[in-house]
Amino acid sequence: MTTTPRVARASWMGTGISLVAIIGFAAAAIWSITFELRGWTTEEIRRSRVPAEPPVLGGLQLTASDGASFRPWGGSQGGRRVWLVTFMYTRCPTLCTTLGIEFERLQRALGQDPRDDHVRLLSISFDPAHDDTRALQAYAAEHHADPARWIVAVPSSASALAKLEREAGIVVIQDGLGGYTHNAAIHVVLDDGRLVRIFAFDNPKAALTWARRL
Amino acid sequence: MGAQALAVDRRFPSRHALLIAAFAGLLVFSLKNWLEGDMARHMVIEFPLLLLAGAAIGRALEERFGAQIACCNQMGLVGFAFASITLAYWMIPAALDAALLDEWVAVGKYISLVASGALLWSSFAAAPLAVQAFFVGNFACMTATVGLIYQSAPQQLCLNYRTDAQSAAGEGLVALAVIAACTWCVSVAHAFLESGADA
């Protein structure tokens, strides 16, 4: 007579323990994927994660619009240079043009304050198939880029580009119209390659104010 | 009553179930790039296919492990809780992105959805109608709400999908919610009518 209730009790206990385990595991998984509930989208989480755990961008070889090859960070440049970096492609009719206009304004602001001497602007193209030095020059000319303050460049190899995108969390997808959609933002990168902050692309003043303090 | 609520013939041979599981699994893995290349196909076709494969595996394992599973799944609560949480998790944009960017997260997605399907098979057999109604209602409300958010969100939620694909996925999720709720209601009505005819 006592067997059935005992089995039923054990069965309910098993159900209860399983439920607690599932809820606990799910809470941990959600906590982890949302970076402690700081965001629900990858881009929100990327921007929240960077100040807390700054990723280090590896040594990067770039080809600038004047054809010169250079390494913006991770080398032995010395000093305390700070890079404000955007990712773009020159054929982009929308976001990258806006980024170009915002950088043009920043360049003007940089020229007016000696505290900004260590700050440089860097536009990196993720479309090496189309963005040769001629296309980069045209983009630089269109936005009146002064090479002393603003460099427009493309990674020297496809593998360097893929590595940079992976390290910085940049995702580029086809837009269905022959162009690309990508996460656009202003990235603050230090001389040692540390990516320390990410600002919204339409808030360049905040990026400059922050870079000025470094 | 609850055990008969779904109109699926639960007595069909387990080898047929294994064939269904193999077919659904093969479809997902052979069409992986096509399915995951679009947000709507990813969520509205691939997710149900993985659940179907899991349910078929659940049927195939029922005779051998049914008693052990039922032992820890009183009234189907564990299976429903696991499936609800799993489905909710993979509707988080960051989780969906991670499944595309990290192969281990992708493996986690496949396993969790197949396991959800297997547990759902056992849960629908064990749960009273009220528990089934709660789960189906909760799933339909959650899926439709997420679908509406996907449709109205002005910004790109997943880095791997464009906003137009996101909007289409939202429409697909709302349709999926309506189809799931209607299918369950029809199956319950069918079971009621059958039990009336038997009496």
Quick: pLDDT tens for A131-168. Answer: 999 999 999 999 999 999 999 999 999 999 999 999 99
- Residue B94, C-beta contacts closer than 8 angstroms, at least 6 positions apart: A33, A34, A39, A40, A41, A42, A44, A45
Model confidence at B4, pLDDT cuts 50, 70, 90, reads: very low
* Least Cα separation, residue B49 to chain A (angstroms): 22
Residue type, A61: Q
Contact A33 B94 (CB under 8 A): yes
The encoded tokens of residue A15 equal 């159900």
How many angstroms separate the CA atoms of B127 and B133, rounded? 10
Q: What are phi and psi of A39, to 5 degrees?
A: -170, 155
β-strand pairing of A69-70 with A195-200: unpaired
Pick from A176-185, B107-116, B173-182: least confident: A176-185
Say if A28 is an interface residue toward chain B (CB within 8 Å). Answer: no
Say if A30 is an interface residue toward chain B (CB within 8 Å). Answer: yes
Say if B142 is an interface residue toward chain A (CB within 8 Å). Answer: no
Contact B160 A171 (CB under 8 A): yes
Model confidence at B57, pLDDT cuts 50, 70, 90, reads: very high
Top residue of B77, B159, B164, B167 to mutate, by most chain A CBs within 10 Å, is B159
For residue A61, with 0-12 CB atoms within 10 Å meaning exposed, 13-18 middle and 19 or more buried, which class applies? middle
Pick from A2-16, A198-212, B25-39: least confident: A2-16
Contact A12 B74 (CB under 8 A): yes
Contact A171 B101 (CB under 8 A): yes
3 state SS of A208: helix
Residue among B4, B173, B67, B159 at smallest CA distance from A7: B67
What is residue B187's predicted lDDT score, i.e. its pLDDT? 93
How many angstroms separate the Cα of B139 from the Cα of each of A115, A148, B84, B143?
Answer: 57, 58, 7, 6
Residue type, A104: E
Place of tokens 């090496």: A128
Place of tokens 């492609």: A89
Secondary structure (H, E, C), chain B: CHHHCCCCCCCCCHHHHHHHHHHHHHHHHHCHHHHHCCHHHHHHHHHHHHHHHHHHHHHHHHHHHHHHHHHCCHHHHHHHHHHHHHHHHCCCHHHHHHHHHCHHHHHHHHHHHHHHHHHHHHHHHHCCHHHHHHHHHHHHHHHHHHHHHHHHCCCCCCCCCCHHHHHHHHHHHHHHHHHHHHHHHHHHHHHHHHHHHHC
Model confidence at B69, pLDDT cuts 50, 70, 90, reads: confident
What is residue B199's predicted lDDT score, i.e. its pLDDT? 59
Say if A26 is an interface residue toward chain B (CB within 8 Å). Answer: yes
3 state SS of A78: coil
CB atoms inside a 10 Å sphere around CB A22: 19
What is residue A53's predicted lDDT score, i.e. its pLDDT? 94
Q: pTM for this structure? A: 0.88
pLDDT tens-digit profile of A54-102?
Answer: 999 988 999 999 999 999 997 765 567 899 999 999 998 888 888 888 8
